[in-house]
Homo-oligomer: A and B are copies of this chain.
Amino acid sequence: MAKYKPKLNPEIRLNLYRTMSECRALEQRAYDLFMQNLIKGTSHLALGQEAVASGFGNAMREDDYTFCTYRGHNHTYVRGVSMTSILGELMGRECGLLRGKGGSMHLMSMDHGALGSYAIIGAHLPIAAGAAWSAQYRGTQQAAVCFFGDGTTNIGAFHEALNFAVIWKLPVVFVCENNLYMEYTAISDVTAVANPAADRASAYNLDPILIDGNDADVVYETAMTALNKAREGEGPSLIEAKTYRHGGHSRADPGKYRPDEEVEEWKKRDPLDVYRKRLLKLGIDAKSIEKIDAETEAKIDEATEIAKNSNPPPLDIADTDVWADGSSTWRN
């Protein structure tokens, strides 16, 4: 395998930071909008886990595919989807990415290679393998990246997808974001091994890859290596990125099942704080960072305004697009 050595120049570094900053702003805003009851239903935030989405988002080629979960705002955003359309979707507005038909758990933008957010655990791993199979057959050297949580490693589809991807040498990168919890249950309480993904890699003849998921540089470099491997026809990778969500599992959850010290410990390792310090240490001037933060702020405010002023979707879209002809007709 040709070893790819990613170069972490200042420009890439600032991009990694900017992406994290925008993800953070996006989801913090989503949180505020819940509190104002402008977002109905549920929503699953990844506050604290931004380094994974940012590292991969910046490493991927534009025509690569991503597959993510209900906790997928960031993974969708990093592909280039606008904040407006994400917030609009969460609010069920006409400007929403799916005009309210999908909701927070189902963000998708085919135009950006964001091939969907899947809300039933495990399903998207084999689907990502399928997209990778398609790329392999078409010879495009696209890769598929599939994000999922630690809890997902215990469901059957995980096992089937991993074995399948390996035997067909598919260009797919499986990324387990181990944030230590399923919904309210600690992953260690229900898993036979300590590292739910990495300790299982050998069962698929893969190398164990366990990384600090709160370090955007590490994620970026790992992503580059795995994506390159996929493009070279060397098959899939399984990456376990340790990280933590700052809040609860979903809107309804205050996250009280977690020891205070644990939460504190991880908040000290906030990927944005860590990275900001590193940038300064590397000699990047504070101004550039502040500028990014300010631009992010303006961006999210503008998006919020547009989304808030967007109408509810027209009711007649409710019975469209079951079928490719645009209809939902099942009889003549």
Q: Which chain A residues have a beta carbon within 8 Å of chain B's beta carbons? A: 122, 154-160, 162-163, 166-167, 189-193, 199-200, 202-206
What are 28 sample pairs from A and B whose C-beta atoms fall under 8 A apart? A122-B156, A155-B156, A155-B159, A155-B160, A156-B158, A158-B159, A159-B159, A162-B192, A163-B190, A163-B192, A166-B192, A167-B189, A167-B190, A167-B191, A167-B192, A192-B203, A192-B204, A192-B205, A192-B206, A193-B202, A193-B203, A193-B204, A193-B205, A199-B202, A199-B203, A200-B203, A202-B202, A203-B203
Majority secondary structure of chain A interface residues (helix, strand, loop or mixed): helix
**CB-CB nearest in chain B for A159:** B159
Are B163 and A156 in contact, CB atoms less than 8 angstroms apart? no
Number of copies: 2
Residues from chain B with a CB closer than 8 A to the CB of A203 are 192-193, 199-200, 202-203
Residues of chain B contacted by A191 (CB below 8 angstroms): 163, 167
Q: How far is the CB of A129 from chain B (nearest CB, A)?
A: 13
Distance in angstroms between the alpha carbons of A206 and B203 in the assembled complex: 12
A160 to B122: give the CA distance in the assembly, Å: 12
Residues of B close to A156: CB separation below 8 A: 122, 155-160
Residues of B within 8 A of A205 (CB): 192-193, 199
Give the docked Cα–Cα distance between A154 and B162 (Å): 10
**Taking the nearest CB of chain B, how far is it from the CB of A172, in angstroms?**
13
Which residues of chain B are within 8 angstroms of A163 by Cβ–Cβ distance? 154, 190-192
Residues of B within 8 Å of A122, CB to CB, are 156
Beyond the given A156-B158, A192-B204, please list 16 additional residue pairs across the A-B interface where CB-CB is below 8 A: A122-B156, A154-B160, A154-B163, A155-B160, A156-B156, A156-B159, A156-B160, A158-B159, A163-B190, A163-B192, A167-B190, A193-B202, A193-B204, A199-B205, A202-B203, A203-B203
State A167–B155 Cα separation when bound (angstroms): 14
A199 to B155, CA, bound (A): 19
A158 CA / B163 CA spacing, docked (Å): 13
How far does the alpha carbon of A313 sit from the alpha carbon of B122 in the complex, in Å? 45
Residues of chain B within 8 A (CB-CB) of A189 are 167
Residue of B nearest to A190 (CB): B167
Closest to A206 in B: B192
A234 to chain B, nearest CB (A): 14
- Residues of chain B within 8 A (CB-CB) of A158 are 156, 159
**Shortest Cβ gap from A116 to chain B (Å):** 20
For A160, list chain B residues within 8 Å (CB): 154-156
